[in-house]
Structure 1
Amino acid sequence: MRKKNNTMLKWIINLGFVFISFVALFPVLGLIVSSFRPSSELIRNGMSLTFDISNMNLDNYTYIFTQAASYWEWYGNSLIISGLTIILSLLLSAMVGYALAVYDFKGKNVIFLLVLFIIMVPFEILMLPLYKLMISMQLIDTYLAVILPLIVAPVAVFFFRQYAVGLPKELMDAARIDGSTEYGIFFRIMMPLMMPSFAAMAILQGLLSWNNFLWPLLVLRSNEMFTLPVGLATLLTPYGNNYDVLIAGSVMTIIPIVLLFIFFQRYFVSGLTVGGVKG
């Protein structure tokens, strides 16, 4: 009887998760269905899951692949910026977090407290000084203007620090005895052990960079330099709305993040949990 109750409880929990997942995916499903509708029908009826199969077509996607040259410029910009941001953010944030975890030096705790403080400061407060800094460095309307403020993310530093605290210090001592340098210890021994945390942060930092709208909107000027969020936002104007590109283009923007999660998902849960478990 007890086994039967446990089985029923598991079914109820699973159904609850399925329902929650459907609610979370409802806007995405509505977006996908709407991307196959004519733009005139979108203007009249808006986005929904109800559809008339006779009105469904691939015209919106055909337009993107044949006529929307600017869209692919924005797509390429987002891929370049997100790729560089992920690589630099993971490398630099991991090195900072690792140093705060395994080395003892003067001011270590102060630096860690500053990292925690910056996490609590909204980015909107930092935008003005960062914007003035980009102007003084003459980086406005460049990739570097978008990438530089994100390459050492306080959240990533905190996460890597918490993960590195649980790494076995005996391996470092053994490597030093064998004559390895500190950089060699990090890149050849500790970094492979930190791969689950790298995978988790790759997904989170990639999602943050790919969806970043406000900061690129401030520092990018020319149409050919826009990222996808900024470029798609320019399609909605008082003089006309290009829903053909907007809806179908929004669906296409989901693909890189889905692929990124599929590629790293086997490490994602362990990367989020192992660093927070002592022992």
Structure 2
Amino acid sequence: MGEPARNTKEKLISVGLIVLFSLVSLTALFPVISLVVASFSPSTDLMRFGLTAELFFSGFVMENFQALFSAESGAYWRWYMNSLIISGILIVLSLFFSSMVGYALALYEFKGKRFIFLLVLLILMIPFEILMLPLYTLMINLRLVDSYFGVMLPLIVAPIAVFFFRQYCLGLPKELMESGRVDGCTEFGIFTRIMAPLMLPSFAAMAILQGLQSWNNFLWPLLVLRSNDMFTLPVGLATLLTPYGNNYEILFSGSVMAIIPIIVLFLFFQRFFIAGLTSGGVKG
């Protein structure tokens, strides 16, 4: 009698957890659902009723997406391309340099190692808003204002990525490094040929997190970029809301299109995502 009762209790708990997490998921997805519904709603309905998740298929129109793909919305696709270029380059550079810093802090012994790691933690605790003014002054002095590199430079070596890679590399076997040295491999070769393949889950996890952060970054590009042709997608979409008129048809349909790259990025790396997060979080 005890075993069936225990199985029944476990099933009830499982069903309860499924229901609970389903409700939490629907709550989290409500803004996305409202955005998708708004992208197919006429502008007049948006002005009258605002954002809603109610599905009235009879009132769905394609005019918003037709306006998005028309010649008049050429600026939108320029912003889209700017975001793709910046995010793509930033992901590659951030993974490369941040992983090397985290790898060195984890597996090498050198003078000042603890102090450097302490600086990484200190910068991690400082809000970016406090650093914006000196960083903006630096971009002016380097003449990188209104350029791709001006947006990317302060974010290439992210403290959170360095910390994550350092924690992950603490679990890598140092014996592989010694074997590589015996075989005549350089230190850079040991990292790229031996250690980097073992770090693929961490690379995938940080690619998603860094890509999401770069794609949605608004405040820093808003400060650095000045010309309309250089705007990223978040900055460009914000310019559609003005005191003189609001292009809701492009704003909502463009926002829906902006979700696609993040979904593709997650689907591409999802098989490594959980493994990378859990492995990087338990190494001490």
- Identify the TM-score tier after normalising by the shorter chain: over 0.9
Q: Structure 2-normalised TM-score?
A: 0.97
From 83, 90, 93, the equivalent of 1:88 is 93
Residue 74 (str. 1) matches residue 79 (str. 2): yes
Farther off after superposition, 74-83 or 38-47? 38-47
Identical positions, percent: 64
Farther off after superposition, 4-13 or 42-51? 42-51
* Cα separation, 2, equivalents of 1:72 and 1:151: 25
Contact 2:168/2:283 (8 A) holds in 1: no
Aligned equivalent of 1:25: 29
* Partner deviation per Cα, 1:227-265 (whole Å, 9 max, x = no partner): 000000000000000001000000010000011011111
From 31, 42, 49, the equivalent of 1:45 is 49
* Superposition RMSD in Å: 0.9
Which consecutive aligned stretches of 4+ in structure 1 deviate over 4 angstroms post-superposition? none
From 107, 110, 116, the equivalent of 1:111 is 116
* Cα separation, 2, equivalents of 1:257 and 1:107: 38
Q: What is the one-letter code of the residue matched to 2:29?
A: L
**Per-residue deviation at 1:57?**
1.1
Aligned equivalent of 2:256: 251
Aligned equivalent of 2:247: 242
* Cα separation, 2, equivalents of 1:7 and 1:51: 34
**Per-residue deviation at 1:44?**
1.2
Residue 260 (str. 1) matches residue 265 (str. 2): yes
* Cα separation, 2, equivalents of 1:251 and 1:92: 32
From 179, 185, 206, the equivalent of 2:184 is 179
Equivalent position SS for 2:262 = helix
* Cα separation, 2, equivalents of 1:180 and 1:9: 54
* Cα separation, 1, equivalents of 2:85 and 2:43: 30
From 234, 246, 263, the equivalent of 1:229 is 234
* Matched length: 279
Aligned equivalent of 1:12: 16
* Cα separation, 1, equivalents of 2:56 and 2:34: 14
Q: Structure 1-normalised TM-score?
A: 0.98
Aligned equivalent of 1:276: 281
**Per-residue deviation at 1:150?**
0.3
Uncovered stretches (5+) of structure 2, i.e. residues with no partner? none
Q: How does 1:149-164 map to 2 (within 5 A)?
A: 149-164=154-169
Q: What is the one-letter code of the residue matched to 2:97?
A: L
**Per-residue deviation at 1:275?**
2.2
Equivalent position SS for 2:69 = helix
* Partner deviation per Cα, 1:197-238 (whole Å, 9 max, x = no partner): 000000000000000000000000010000000000000000
Contact 2:139/2:145 (8 A) holds in 1: yes
* Cα separation, 1, equivalents of 2:67 and 2:145: 31
Q: What is the one-letter code of the residue matched to 2:14?
A: K
Equivalent position SS for 1:204 = helix
**Per-residue deviation at 1:278?**
4.3
**Per-residue deviation at 1:4?**
1.1
